[in-house]
Amino acid sequence: MKRKILTYFIYVIVAATLATMMMMAVISSRMFETQVVESMRYEAEALRALIEAGGEARLDEIGSDVRVTIIDAQGDVRYDNEADPAKMESHAQRPEVIAALETGVGEDVRNSQTVSRNTFYYALRLSDGSVLRMAREASNIWSIYMRAAPLIALLLALLIGVCVFSASLLTERLIEPIEQMTAHLNNVSGVARYPELEPFMTMIQKQHEEILRSADMRVEFTANVSHELKTPLTSISGYAELIENGMACGEQVSRFAGEIRKSANRLLTLINDIIRLSQLDSPEQKLHTEPVNLAQVAQAVAEQLRMSAEKMQVSIRLDTRPVVISADRGMMEELIYNLCDNAIRYNVRGGSVCIDVHPARDRAIVCVQDTGIGISREHQEHIFERFYRVDKSRSKATGGTGLGLAIVKHIAAKHNATIAVDSELGRGTSISVSFERLTHA
């Protein structure tokens, strides 16, 4: 970056300096030329006055650094203050002479033998039809360039020096907040920032926090999983040991075997739930969306849970109106199942569960309501966390792993649905999930 800025700076400076110098040289050489021509014009006017007053013969007496030539109307040289007119060729074709013969005045600039000098010509027509021509050599634009070259080089060197210095200073200051930010990703409040970098830094910071959080969550999850696995495994190992040592006799053996089977089942559910969660977690997992009538799904789930509801002496009531959403059918079943399962499991004898499915404007609402034990406010915000159980013993006694609502939350998030909990301790709970409805279906 530093290098890039520096190179860029140098390019700009060199281009700007050269352009300025060239422009200055062009302008000054133009001004110089006009001045030369102007002064020649004055001298020519003066000489014309002298010649026309009959003083041509006195021309030689006037020392001049200007070459003076008089050319007659045919183009032959009549007089020259530096060379022998007899030896000079015809000047009829010289542009300034042609112009002077036609219009009264003419001028021209031609290269001299030396590249760095030009010859300026100025011609005036005299009253007798001949032409008075002045010629003067002067430096041209090249010589101005040549003379300015060391100055330009010096200036460029100076500017490049300044450039290198300021570019390094600039990049230093540009990069400093970024470096500081990288060093203090946890707390960037004190770091000087530019508004341009704000979105970038906010994003980086957010990602950083997310990474930390997910690392924390992973550690916590692993600890929880190990802990959850330990209990049933300890019990399996314990009962197996009793049987192994011959400490169990007769019907005890079958009771212990039953306990072992229960624990093994618990392990299976736990592992299934964990696998399910990690599937839902993975970003690669694709939703197989299709139009799903939530009322149908609710009816099917109610049918599946009828037995366990009867066992708990809980009645299930369905209150559904057909409403179609675009969703993964399997996941919808899972979601409603988990909610109903809870509503039955955390209910009271003789209690009831109501599964309500209905459209509301552009939304589809699934609401599972129970007359069960309810959840106190402080627990309500946690029930969607993994392994969170309000009453550990009750949940465990009913085979709960504390992952059901975590799965519900994941499924809802994958379908852009929102969840609302309304519960009162001792009176019951109502959890409703709101989906976007497929209006055209």
CB nearer Mg ion, residue 232 or residue 404: 404
Identify what 69 binds: ligand ATP, Mg ion, none; CB under 5 to 8 Å per kind: none
Least distance to Mg ion from the beta carbon of 338, Å?
5
Least distance to Mg ion from the beta carbon of 405, Å?
6
For the sheet with 418-424, list strands across it.
315-320, 352-360, 363-370, 428-436, 418-424
Q: How would you classify the pairing of strands 352-360 and 418-424?
A: unpaired
CB nearer ligand ATP, residue 106 or residue 374: 374
Identify what 383 binds: Mg ion, ligand ATP, none; CB under 5 to 8 Å per kind: ligand ATP
Least distance to ligand ATP from the beta carbon of 404, Å?
2
CA distance 53 to 47: 10
Query: Amino acid identity of 382?
Result: H
Q: Cα separations (Å) of 212 from 104, 135, 185, 209, 409?
A: 93, 87, 11, 5, 21
Identify what 327 binds: ligand ATP, Mg ion, none; CB under 5 to 8 Å per kind: none
Identify what 133 binds: Mg ion, ligand ATP, none; CB under 5 to 8 Å per kind: none
Identify what 97 binds: Mg ion, ligand ATP, none; CB under 5 to 8 Å per kind: none
With CB atoms as reference, the residue minimizing the distance to ligand ATP is 404
CA distance 168 to 62: 65
Identify what 346 binds: Mg ion, ligand ATP, none; CB under 5 to 8 Å per kind: ligand ATP
Contact residues: ligand ATP, CB under 6 A: 273, 338, 342-343, 346, 370, 372-375, 383, 388-391, 395, 400-406, 429
Stretch that binds Mg ion, among 239-247, 278-286, 356-364, 402-410 (CB under 5 A): 402-410
Dihedrals phi, psi of 402, to nearest 5 degrees: 80, 15
CB nearer Mg ion, residue 364 or residue 431: 431
Least distance to ligand ATP from the beta carbon of 340, Å?
9
Query: Amino acid identity of 417?
Result: A
CA triple 337-380-223, angle to 5 deg: 80
CA distance 348 to 344: 8
Identify what 293 binds: Mg ion, ligand ATP, none; CB under 5 to 8 Å per kind: none
Query: Amino acid identity of 29?
Result: S
Least distance to ligand ATP from the beta carbon of 222, Å?
18
Least distance to ligand ATP from the beta carbon of 278, Å?
14
Q: Look up residue 287 and give its DSSP letter.
A: P
The partner residues of 411 in beta bridges, in order of sequence, read none
Identify what 302 binds: Mg ion, ligand ATP, none; CB under 5 to 8 Å per kind: none
Structure tokens at 436: 């976007």
CB nearer Mg ion, residue 342 or residue 369: 342
Site mask for Mg ion (CB under 5 A), range 353-392, x = bound = ----------------------------------------
Estimate to the nearest angstrom the gap between the alpha carbon of 30 and the chain centroid: 51
Identify what 429 binds: ligand ATP, Mg ion, none; CB under 5 to 8 Å per kind: ligand ATP
Q: Would you list the DSSP string of 112-126?
A: -SSTTEEEEEEEEE-
CA triple 305-309-313, angle to 5 deg: 170
Cβ–Cβ < 8 Å for 25, 144: yes
CA distance 179 to 185: 10
Least distance to ligand ATP from the beta carbon of 357, Å?
17
Residue 404 binding Mg ion, by CB under 5 A: yes
Least distance to ligand ATP from the beta carbon of 291, Å?
28
CA distance 333 to 341: 12
Which residues of this protein are in contact with Mg ion, per CB under 5 A?
A: 342, 404
